[in-house]
Structure 1
Amino acid sequence: MTARLLLVEDERAIRLALSGLLRREGFEVDQVEDGASALRRLAEQAFDLVLTDLALGDGPSGMDVLRAARREQPETPVVMITAHGSEAIAVEAMKLGAEDYVPKPFDNDEIRLVVRRALERTRLARENRWLRERLARELGFESLIGSGPSMRRVFETIQKVAETDLTVLVRGESGTGKELVAHALHERSARRGGPFVAVNCAAISRELVESELFGHEKGAFTGAEARRVGRFEAADGGTIFLDEIGDMAPETQAKVLRVLQERCFERVGGAKPLRVDVRVVAATHRDLERDVRDGRFREDLYYRLRVVEIELPPLRERLEDVPALAARFLAQLAERLGRPPKLLAPDALARLAAYPWPGNVRELRNAVERAAVLASGDALGAADLALPEPGPEPASAAATTLPFAEAKRLATERFERAYLLTALRAHGGNVSRTAEAIGMVRQSLQQKIRELGLREEDWSRPEGPAGGTS
């Protein structure tokens, strides 16, 4: 796309020469001869760059144009043209936000270079901002989807503790979205401008885990040919996410405990203590209480990590969120591939809601993405999902402490809620069409909706206050 420039110059000959030069370079140029006209243009139209003389005769000066551009179009770079001997004023302009300045007399090559360099820097800054916004959407709080009470508790806890520096322990089965919770905590904290460093403790060998976390000095061990910065040091000023911390070796647990207590450590092979300012978020799918009793996990580290605990429910316990999650994954895949998103047919929605999802949200994402890529047509049917026939649904630990009748009632209620929400969403919330499609009498469906406490907003707005996922 052609860049649009605003040229502000009171000397007609210079204005015409610069305008011709920039047009020959392929730019679209709007030219004005005074500061007042420039202020009006900035208030009315968007520009990719402003090139203004510092001295503009009577009326608003080039500095006024700079201030207006920073106010009206803060992402638009401003390049100042200065007279010989006014470098001090040019430096002042740079302090106020000017991108660059060109002293008179100048040559054409200098103007070309300064303008293209300013546009390139601005393009990169804009792309980085868009990338940060996209990552915030995909990995921040808004990427979590959930409408049930268990996910709403997760959202409330994130909201309350994100702005603090408290250590958080995220618990849940594999694939429930523990790293997304860590990202959400980071993106909603004062550390959002700092690094987010994720470490899968289960994926690093016992021999290398300390070097990975704390770094090493040159010659610390065979193969250590240069100093290496560890993950804690790289996370300074931000957040470190220690995934699957329950699989960490006991000797490494002791060093992590020291970092939590004293905020300092030494590189492997080093003697100098290094201080870090990091927030620690840890996650595990293990029963840490049992590991503490069995001596596999340090009790003091357990209590240091468990300042705030967030429990992510398995997907089988929040089946009402499956349609919204599936739709989100299809939309994200379509964006990556540059294609229109595929839809889910009613039989596919029913199949998704009836499946127990032992692999949780990660399995759901893989299933719908695989179906979207391999299936022909604009809508996915149940057969396209190619889901295995479910075996007996595993009971949750909480369910096994209940009497059989109560556990059965809760499981039935969860299924009915998920099934009816899926059917209502598939038929646009129309109760009559939904009842006909699922073989119920309309009055019976209305009664069941009341019994389950379902409201229109539950099927018309499937996402929670921010949403829960993968």
Structure 2
Amino acid sequence: MIYTARIGIIHDIIISEFQQQVYMKTIIAAGDNLSDCAKLNNIINIEGHSVISFCGGNGEIPAGKNHSLLLYYLSDLSEGWKEKLNSVKNISIATPMIVISETDSSEAAVFVMKNGAVDFIFAGLPDDEIKSRIEESFDKKNLISRVEEIHELIHYTEIFKGIIGRSSALRNVFSRVEKAMKRDVSVLILGESGTGKELFARAIHEGSGRSGGPFVTVNCAAITPDLAESLLFGHVKGSFTGSVSQHRGYFSQANGGSIFLDEIGDMNREVQGMVLRVLEDRKVRPLGALQEETLNIRIISATNRNLRKLAEEGNFREDLYYRLDEFPVTLPPLRERREDIPLMADHFLKEFCMFYEIEPMKFGENSMEQLKNYSWPGNVRELKNIVRREAVESIDTVIESISLPDIKASTENAEHKTPTAEVQIKEPAEIIPLALLEEMEIKKAFRITGGNADQTAFLLGLSRATLYRKLKSYGML
């Protein structure tokens, strides 16, 4: 099932790429004389081509620019022509070059092709044939470029399982995270809530040399000072009242692998000092133990808060911050990679239709525009939840309209939103007690799933035990 899902993601990405990518054919026309460019312009007067001329000292070819094609008109084979040709090619070395020569010389053709040109064309050939050969060069370049991009997408899809997207913002993150995989440094993942920080943390672990070891997740916000030592470092039997058995702490559990310190920005300052000591010494001593345990672990941490600012304000230990921030990775919010939204929404919809055994659905143009224009304060997590809700509630196979939360969907203010900015929600006319609201939603989900406890628990994000306890209290069991 996992393998099939990954193939589906790759397929969707490739189709999306081919449908949306548009190539602008930009040609640099170069030669020794102005008349050379005039001749080139007559030859390449083809619809869809944009020609920039640099002949006879008419400006300089922009260095380092990767245009679609460089056409060089070789008017004669007088002394120094080889040096001129090489100097032109070296200016725009990443651009494929075609030489059009007034002299049909096999020696010149061999030299030109050996020095990186993609074709050598005799100017005496019919214009239609020259145009056809130029078009072939474009097709080859575009095909090679597309194949390289598709290979990159497949490569990233294999590495970053469950992370969907093809935007440049996400690819930049992929490239940076792949570097982190190869080096055993502490990684600090920064990003708003719902951007997939734990998915990237797992990807770093699984793509590293520690993939065979454990991956232990710690919710730092939930660790209180009185329980910290026992939870983080463990304890031996009888070390304190109620310790009827030995317990391995989170750091010991992660030995040989990676420990993921989630929500590190919300960790109690007293607990921060305990963690710092472990990071410095790479040793732990369980409560009641006589011997220390040496650790061989990788630290991956994540937060939606600005740790540097917290450290400057004295709300986070500066020395711990620098220990964690060896290799920072910042995840973009969903509003900064909107081009990924259609791909993700379609994938989630297919996934939920399969899970709930619903007839296949799709988003209409209007509903997809709604998704693309919404500000997504909850990022990918919110998108997934809304798609899940639409899959369960919709009675049509085409979802034409979506009921989005009453949050300003304009991107004008959203693009300046920081991870700690508050979401502006309209104040309701009536306040519903949380307990009653919870009961209403649980009953609604239970009704929608036809009384299927597993699907209800999945829909609400609850364990089966918690769901059963709630249903029993409502008199539904």
Which TM-score band (shorter chain)?
Answer: 0.5 to 0.7
1:394 to 414, 417, 422: 414
Once the two structures are superposed, residues 117-171 of structure 1 have per-residue CA deviations (whole angstroms, 9 ceiling, x without a partner) of xxxxxxxxxxxxxxxxxxxx99961322233332122100111120221110000
Gaps of 5+ in 2: 1-155, 420-477
1:376 aligns with 2:372: no
Distance 1:199 1:351, change over 3 A: same
Q: Which amino acid aligns with 2:338?
A: L
Q: Which amino acid aligns with 1:232?
A: F
Structure 2 partner of 1:337 = 356
Q: Is the 2:336–2:415 contact (alpha carbons within 8 Å) kept by the matching residues of 1? A: no
1:208 aligns with 2:235: no
Q: Is the 1:263–1:276 contact (alpha carbons within 8 Å) kept by the matching residues of 2? A: yes
Mapped partners of 1:187, 1:336: distance in 2: 26
Once the two structures are superposed, residues 184-206 of structure 1 have per-residue CA deviations (whole angstroms, 9 ceiling, x without a partner) of 10111121122111111113333
Once the two structures are superposed, residues 377-397 of structure 1 have per-residue CA deviations (whole angstroms, 9 ceiling, x without a partner) of 2222223x4443526633436
Mapped partners of 2:276, 2:159: distance in 1: 28
Distance 1:198 1:398, change over 3 A: closer
Once the two structures are superposed, residues 227-284 of structure 1 have per-residue CA deviations (whole angstroms, 9 ceiling, x without a partner) of 1111111111111110011111222222222222222111133342111211110001
Q: Which amino acid aligns with 2:237?
A: K
Could you say what secondary structure the match of 2:302 adopts? strand
1:169 aligns with 2:197: no
Structure 1 partner of 2:329 = 310
Q: Which amino acid aligns with 2:406?
A: P
Structure 1 partner of 2:260 = 241
Question: For residues 152-163 of structure 1, what are the structure 2 equivalents within 5 Å?
Answer: 152-163=171-182
Shift of 1:341: 4.1
Structure 1 partner of 2:63 = none
Structure 2 partner of 1:255 = 274
Distance 1:335 1:188, change over 3 A: farther
Distance 1:331 1:264, change over 3 A: farther
Once the two structures are superposed, residues 416-440 of structure 1 have per-residue CA deviations (whole angstroms, 9 ceiling, x without a partner) of xxxxxxxxxxxxxxxxxxxxxxxxx
Mapped partners of 1:244, 1:293: distance in 2: 18
Question: For residues 170-185 of structure 1, what are the structure 2 equivalents within 5 Å?
Answer: 170-185=189-204
Distance 1:341 1:264, change over 3 A: farther
Could you say what secondary structure the match of 2:259 adopts? strand
Mapped partners of 1:244, 1:155: distance in 2: 22
Worse-superposed segment, 204-213 or 272-281:
204-213
Could you say what secondary structure the match of 2:305 adopts? coil
Distance 1:223 1:138, change over 3 A: farther
Distance 1:222 1:381, change over 3 A: farther
Question: For residues 24-35 of structure 1, what are the structure 2 equivalents within 5 Å?
Answer: none
Q: Is the 1:201–1:209 contact (alpha carbons within 8 Å) kept by the matching residues of 2? A: no
Q: Which amino acid aligns with 2:399?
A: L
Distance 1:382 1:343, change over 3 A: same
Structure 1 partner of 2:374 = 355
1:282 to 295, 301, 305: 301
Shift of 1:348: 1.2
Question: For residues 108-147 of structure 1, what are the structure 2 equivalents within 5 Å?
Answer: 141-147=160-166
Question: For residues 9-20 of structure 1, what are the structure 2 equivalents within 5 Å?
Answer: none
Q: Is the 1:326–1:364 contact (alpha carbons within 8 Å) kept by the matching residues of 2? A: yes
Question: For residues 318-333 of structure 1, what are the structure 2 equivalents within 5 Å?
Answer: 318-333=337-352
TM-score of the superposed pair, with normalisation by structure 2: 0.51
Q: Which amino acid aligns with 2:315?
A: R
Q: Is the 1:367–1:387 contact (alpha carbons within 8 Å) kept by the matching residues of 2? A: no
Mapped partners of 1:299, 1:271: distance in 2: 31
- Cα RMSD of the aligned pairs, angstroms, is 2.5
Distance 1:396 1:139, change over 3 A: farther
Q: Is the 2:163–2:199 contact (alpha carbons within 8 Å) kept by the matching residues of 1? A: yes
Mapped partners of 1:342, 1:192: distance in 2: 37
TM-score of the superposed pair, with normalisation by structure 1: 0.52
Distance 1:163 1:353, change over 3 A: same
Mapped partners of 2:238, 2:283: distance in 1: 22
Mapped partners of 1:349, 1:263: distance in 2: 50
Q: Which amino acid aligns with 2:364?
A: A
What count of residue pairs does the alignment treat as equivalent? 263
Q: Is the 1:333–1:341 contact (alpha carbons within 8 Å) kept by the matching residues of 2? A: no
Q: Is the 1:235–1:278 contact (alpha carbons within 8 Å) kept by the matching residues of 2? A: yes
Gaps of 5+ in 1: 1-136, 400-470
Could you say what secondary structure the match of 2:247 adopts? coil
Could you say what secondary structure the match of 1:162 adopts? helix
Structure 2 partner of 1:367 = 386
Shift of 1:362: 0.7
Q: Is the 2:259–2:298 contact (alpha carbons within 8 Å) kept by the matching residues of 1? A: yes
Q: Is the 1:139–1:183 contact (alpha carbons within 8 Å) kept by the matching residues of 2? A: no
Q: Which amino acid aligns with 1:321?
A: D
Could you say what secondary structure the match of 1:270 adopts? coil
Distance 1:207 1:380, change over 3 A: farther
